[in-house]
Structure 1
């Protein structure tokens, strides 16, 4: 097999894995790269993305809410560690954490900075479902 075929096979496997978790995976998807985020956005109608940092107190406060939303809604929930994926954080102009983005059909529908309450987030997700 050529490298191009190997890469295509890997992409196809990733796509199948994402399709298997499409809808509501039940737990947050930890984003590994820009391409991974693009795949998650492409495979899901509504995606809530939590840009966070392990050292961030408010991020730790928000984490249980994000996990509950992943388990209880039809939206896919993704988490982006801004320390691991600095380029992605820059691309989305994350200047403070937590920063949450709501995507609908791959397009930004909302951007929120700071801890948000569960009811607000669920309301925004339901309005775009």
Structure 2
């Protein structure tokens, strides 16, 4: 079974190696967040809905407090930050709370 198999919930990234493997193919949404971040908490249900509803989308969650190096390497300066990857390349970046429809539009543009 491929690591890009449809998921029903976001994958919480535990290592740089896991991050690199999971962003290497397909369409991937990376949600950079922190537990103390109010806007991150507002966005979380939307991200979880996308993970459950969009079959060809892998959703990763990166806690910036636990994985500062990943966030820094990605150039994250504010959270919540959303990065979209298409076949291993960053394709789009959004900062702040986003509407579900806008996120779906990005996914559609990457197909």
**What's the TM-score bracket when you normalise by the shorter of the two chains?**
over 0.9
Q: Distance in 2 between matches of 1:126 and 1:110?
A: 12
Matched, 1:55 2:36: yes
Report how many residues are paired.
Answer: 110
Instruction: Tell me the TM-score normalised to structure 1 length.
Output: 0.82
Task: Pick the structure with more helix per residue.
Answer: 1
Q: What's the CA shift for 1:23?
A: 3.4
Structure 2 unmatched ranges of 5 or more: none
Structure 1 gaps of 5+ residues are 1-15
Q: Does 1:106 align with 2:62?
A: no
**CA-based RMSD:** 1.1
Corresponding residue of 1:10 = none
Task: Render the CA deviation track for 1:13-68: whole Å, top value 9, x for unaligned.
Answer: xxx6xx2x5232111010001111001012x4100000000000000000000000
TM-score, structure 2 normalization: 0.94
More strand as a share of residues: 2
1:38-49 matched pairs, under 5 angstroms:
38-42=20-24, 44-49=25-30
Higher RCO by CA contacts (8 Å cutoff, separation 6 or greater): 2
Higher Cα Rg: structure 1 or 2? 1
